[in-house]
Amino acid sequence: TLTGPLGDKDDPAALYPAVHTRHTSRYPFAETPLPDAVLTALAEAAHREHLSLSFASGWHLRSVMDLALEAEARNLTDAGAAADLARFTRRADDTRPATEGVPEYAFGPRRRIGKAPMRDFAGGKPIPGRPTVDFETAPHLALLSTARDRPLDWMRTGQATERVLLRATVEGVSTSFLTQALEWHDLRWPLRDPMSGNAYVQMVLRLGYGPPGTRTPRRPVHDVLDLEP
């Protein structure tokens, strides 16, 4: 059924308009607290897909930020991570089709050292005209977690991520990802909140009030989806 007991805003049809307005926003967000009603709505969106969404605070928030910084530092000196970044992003002199790679205009400003751990899509290289700014000191970070780590959990994570991001967009909340620590086996485990009972952190999101981000190109549908007649 497309409608449910949690109210209209959880109806996938109500989330649909946000598909066109949701973008990853790599800009600083205000540290203004998010209203409890919004936090509850986002957690319910995750529960719909059998995931838990927890908001890191206090020592746990500091620990999640430290783990992301550690991952970011490793990425800057790791040849594999540098190659991944080069494939995943698009620089001005890129010769691939225009749909390949996150374009420079979506990188957002460069983070001043010592603030919220944003992944630097420029890999530390200078981009002319790119400003350097302060990000949040205490960002709103949300962790999507599962009790187990099966392919089913990974699929549900994708669905939960989509629901949470779209619901946030409907609520006027901007979002970005902070997944660096998840990519290092030894940094993923300590990310979890030991009080939560959910061992496997699957996704780390940054939430807040701020610029909505920028639209980026998509590959043509027939490049990514085979439809049987």
Ligand X SMILES: Cc1cc2nc3c(=O)[nH]c(=O)nc-3n(C[C@H](O)[C@H](O)[C@H](O)COP(=O)(O)O)c2cc1C
Give the binding site for ligand X (CB under 6 A): 23-24, 26, 102, 119, 176-180, 213, 216
Closest distance of CB 72 from ligand X, Å: 9
In contact, 109 and 27? CB cutoff 8 Å: yes
| Closer of 34 and 108 to ligand X (Cβ) | 108
CB of 78 to ligand X, least distance (A): 15
Q: How far is the CB of 164 from ligand X (least distance, A)?
A: 12
**144: nearest Cα among 103, 94, 97, 178:** 178
Q: Could you tell me the end-to-end alpha-carbon distance of the chain, in angstroms, rounded to an integer?
A: 26
Indicate the residue among 34 and 71 with the shorter CB distance to ligand X: 71
Residue 171: closest CA among 208, 215, 216, 213: 208
CB nearer ligand X, residue 96 or residue 195: 96
Q: Give least dist CB 215 to ligand X, A.
A: 7
Report how far residue 173's alpha carbon sits from residue 159's, in angstroms, rounded to the nearest whole number: 19
- In the complex with ligand X, the residue whose CB is nearer, 54 or 176, is 176
Residues with Cβ within 8 Å of 5's Cβ and at least 6 positions away in sequence, in order, are none
